[in-house]
Amino acid sequence: MDIQTVLESQHRLLDALLLEAVREGSTVDEEVYLAFREVLARHIAIEEKVLLQALREAGVIFSQAERIHQDHRALGQLMAAEPTMANVTALAMLFHEHEAVEESEIGLFATCAQLLDPEILEKSRSEYVATAGDAAWTPSTREQAFKLAAGRKR
């Protein structure tokens, strides 16, 4: 599975977890939200340490890189805040805007797919996995997300 497909499928998983976390409408399901945060943190790390790093190393100037960095910082701040409905709503709004930037025809995923040699992406992915561990790579199902979150609680 190519990296674009993996990351887009993570976006769908994150969308579903976020929706489930606020399903009740007035409270946040903290267990589901914790799973969402775990997957999003890993997803951001992959984008920063694999995709954006590979673009830099290849000398590709990506006009939206700073916007993506800023979004990642803001998402991190919101994830660190208390999971109130207001904070989770703000995070959801930013996350959905961020997804659109990454998944557009000129977004991060398409740019990497079009301009980077798959071998460069694989080298960058391998280096990331070597330092972060294979478990950090692809939390792609709800069950995997909850398993990650449960491991974090211990």
Residues in the chain: 154
Confidence (pLDDT) at 138 = 59
Q: Which amino acid is at 137?
A: W
User: What pLDDT does 154 receive?
Assistant: 45
Higher pLDDT, 147 or 104: 104
The share of the chain scoring above pLDDT 90, in percent, equals 51
List CB contacts of 148: < 8 A, sequence separation 6 or more: 35, 38, 39, 42, 135, 139
Which amino acid type is present at position 61?
A: I
Q: What is the pLDDT of residues 8-26, one digit of tens each?
A: 888 998 999 999 999 877 8
Q: What angle do CA 151, 153, 154 make, to 5 degrees?
A: 70
- Average the pLDDT over 64-82 and give the result: 96
Residue 50 has pLDDT above 50, yes or no: yes
Higher pLDDT, 79 or 132: 79
pLDDT band at 142 (very low <50, low <70, confident <90, very high): low
Q: For position 1, what pLDDT does the model report?
A: 63
Contacts of 149 (CB under 8 A, 6+ apart): 31, 34, 35, 37, 38
Q: Which of 8-22, 25-39, 97-111, 119-133 has the lowest mean pLDDT?
A: 119-133
CB 71 within 8 A of CB 101: yes
Contact, 91 vs 75, CB < 8 A? Answer: yes
What is the per-residue pLDDT across 102-113, written as a single tens digit (0 to 9) for each? Answer: 999 999 999 998
CA distances from 58 to 26, 44, 118, 122, 123 (A): 47, 20, 12, 13, 12
* Residue 23, phi then psi, degrees to nearest 5: -55, -35
**Amino acid residing at 88:** V
